[in-house]
Amino acid sequence: MAANPIWWRDGVVYQIYPRSFADSNGDGIGDLGGVIQHLDYLAELGVEAIWYSPFYPSPDVDFGYDVSNYTDIDPKFGSLADFDRLVTESHQRGIRVILDLVLNHTSDQHLWFQESRKGKDNPYSDWYIWRDAKPDGSLPNNWEAIFGTPGWEWDAKRDQYYYHMFYPQQPDLNWRNPQVRQACLDVVRFWLDRGVDGFRLDVFSNFFKHPDLPDNPPAVGLRAFDRQKHIYDSNQPDMIPLLRELRELLDSYPERYAVGETFMPTPQSVSAYTAPGLIHAAFDFEMLHCRWDPECFQKAILATEKAMHPDSWPVYTLNNHDTSRTASRYHCGNNDARLKVAAALTITLRGTPFIYYGEEIGMRNIHVPRRFIQDRIGEKYWPIFDGRDKNRSPMQWNANSHAGFTTGKPWLPVHPDHGTRNVEAQRKDPQSLFHFYRRLIQLRKELSALRGGLFQPVTYEPRKLLAYLRQDSEQTVLVVLNFSHRPVRLAMGGELRRNGWVLALSNKHDTLPAIEKGGYLSLQGDEVMILTEKG
Q: Are 357 and 14 within 8 A, CB to CB?
A: yes
**pLDDT value at residue 446:** 98
Instruction: Specify which residues 454 forms β-bridges with.
Output: 471
What pLDDT was estimated at residue 161?
99
Residue ranges of the domains in the chain? Answer: 7-106+178-441, 453-533
Mean pLDDT of 262-266: 79
Q: What is the pLDDT of residue 514?
A: 87
Residues 6+ apart with CB under 8 A from 217: 228, 229, 231
Q: Quick count: other Cβ atoms within 10 Å of Cβ 58? A: 23
Whole-angstrom Cα Rg for the chain = 24
Q: How far apart, in whole angstroms, are the C-alpha atoms of residue 210 and residue 143?
A: 12
Report d(CA 15, CA 30) in Å as an integer. Answer: 14
Query: How would you classify residue 77: left for phi > 0, otherwise alpha for psi between -120 and 50, otherwise beta?
Result: alpha
* Residue 157, number of CB atoms within 10 A of its CB: 9
The pLDDT assigned to 494 comes to: 77
Catalytic pick from 48, 261, 359, 375? 261
More confident call, 218 vs 384: 218
Q: What is the pLDDT of residue 518?
A: 79
What integer is the mean pLDDT of 67-91?
99
Assign domain 453-533 one CATH number from 3.40.50.720, 3.10.200.10, 3.90.25.10, 2.60.40.1180: 2.60.40.1180
Query: Length of the chain, please?
Result: 535
State the distance between the two ends of the chain, measured CA to CA, in whole angstroms.
Answer: 32
What's the pLDDT at 284?
87
Helix, strand and coil content of the chain, in percent to the nearest 5, comes to 30, 20, 50
Mean local confidence (pLDDT), 327-352: 97
The span from the CA of 396 to the CA of 388, in Å, is 18
Alpha helices in 274-386 (DSSP H): 294-307, 326-329, 337-348, 376-381
Q: How far apart, in whole angstroms, are the C-alpha atoms of residue 319 and residue 71?
A: 28
Distance CA 251, CA 465 (A): 42
Domain 7-106+178-441 has CATH 1.25.40.10: no
Whether 170 and 66 have beta carbons less than 8 Å apart is answered as yes
Mean pLDDT across the chain: 96
Tell me the average pLDDT across 344-348. 99
Q: How far apart are CA 130 and CA 153, in angstroms?
A: 10
CA-nearest of 310, 317, 192 to 257 is: 192
pLDDT tops 90 at residue 524 = yes
Catalytic choice (48, 66, 100, 202): 202
Answer whether 301's CB lies under 8 Å from 288's CB: no
- What are the DSSP calls for 144-184, one per residue? B-TTSSBSEEEETTTTEEEE-SS-TTSPBB-TTSHHHHHHH
Average pLDDT over residues 90-94: 98
Average pLDDT over residues 389-401: 98
pLDDT band at 500 (very low <50, low <70, confident <90, very high): confident
Residue 268 clears pLDDT 90, i.e. is over it: no
pLDDT at res. 266: 81
3-class SS at 414? coil
Give phi and psi for 329, each to the nearest 5: -65, -35
What's the rounded mean pLDDT across residues 3-10? 95
Res. 460: pLDDT tops 80: no
Q: Quick one: residue 371, left, alpha or beta (phi over 0 = left, psi -120 to 50 = alpha)?
A: alpha
- How far is Cα 524 from Cα 509, in angstroms, rounded to an integer? 9
- List strands edge to edge, sheet with 352-356: 281-283, 257-261, 198-201, 96-101, 49-52, 13-16, 352-356, 315-317
Domains 7-106+178-441 and 453-533 in one fold? no
Confidence of residue 426 (pLDDT cuts 50, 70, 90): very high
359: annotated active-site residue? no
282-301 pLDDT, tens digit per residue, is 998 989 999 999 999 999 99
pLDDT tops 90 at residue 493: no
The residue type found at 348 is: T
pLDDT at 79: 99
The DSSP secondary structure of 282-307, one letter per residue, reads EE--GGGG--S-HHHHHHHHHHHHHH
Q: Is 202 tagged catalytic?
A: yes
Check residue 140 and give its pLDDT. Answer: 99
- Dist CA 389 CA 387 (whole Å): 6
Higher-pLDDT residue of 532, 514? 532
**C-alpha to C-alpha distance for 62 and 168, rounded to whole angstroms:** 11
Task: Please give the residue that has the higher pLDDT: either 265 or 200.
Answer: 200
Mean pLDDT across the stretch 230-251? 97
Alpha-carbon span 301 to 267, nearest angstrom: 10
Residue 232 has pLDDT above 90, yes or no: yes
Answer yes or no: is pLDDT of 269 > 90: no
% of the chain beyond a pLDDT of 90: 89
* Amino acid 384: pLDDT: 80
Kindly give the interhelix angle for 178-193 and 239-251, rounded to the nearest 10 degrees: 30
Question: Percent of the chain scored above 70 by pLDDT?
Answer: 100
CA distance 104 to 163: 11
